[in-house]
Amino acid sequence: MNEHQIIEILIAYWPLIHLEISRLLPLSSMLFNINNQQQDDEFDTIAKYLEKKLPDGSTLLDYIVMGLVNKHKNLSRLKIVDFHGCSTSKIKFSF
């Protein structure tokens, strides 16, 4: 299994109503011990990380969207996907 597919599966079965994307990413754990200006720079890094091309030509954002498309209605309560913090990103998402 592709390691990035784990994100797709996690989103498809997300048990809560709200999901903060920045909390799913491995680099998000280092974001909360730095000052505000550096935090803005790190959030820009998150956006770039989501949009960066992977070896198979896809992006992490593609896997996130596939997780939403394949969401299990009976198991997942997910209603809000929060991209807060990806301020310079082109990402705009609502459903």
Answer whether residue 68 shows pLDDT above 60: yes
Among 86, 76, 72, smallest CA distance to 25 is for 86
Answer whether residue 60 shows pLDDT above 60: yes
Confidence of residue 14 (pLDDT cuts 50, 70, 90): very high
CA atoms 20, 9, 94, 25: torsion sign: positive
77/73 Cα distance (integer angstroms): 7
CA distances for 25 relative to 31, 62, 81, angstroms: 11, 14, 14
What pLDDT score does 65 carry?
92
What is the arithmetic mean of pLDDT over 51-76? 91
Phi and psi at residue 9, to the nearest 5°: -65, -45
What is the arithmetic mean of pLDDT over 65-94? 78
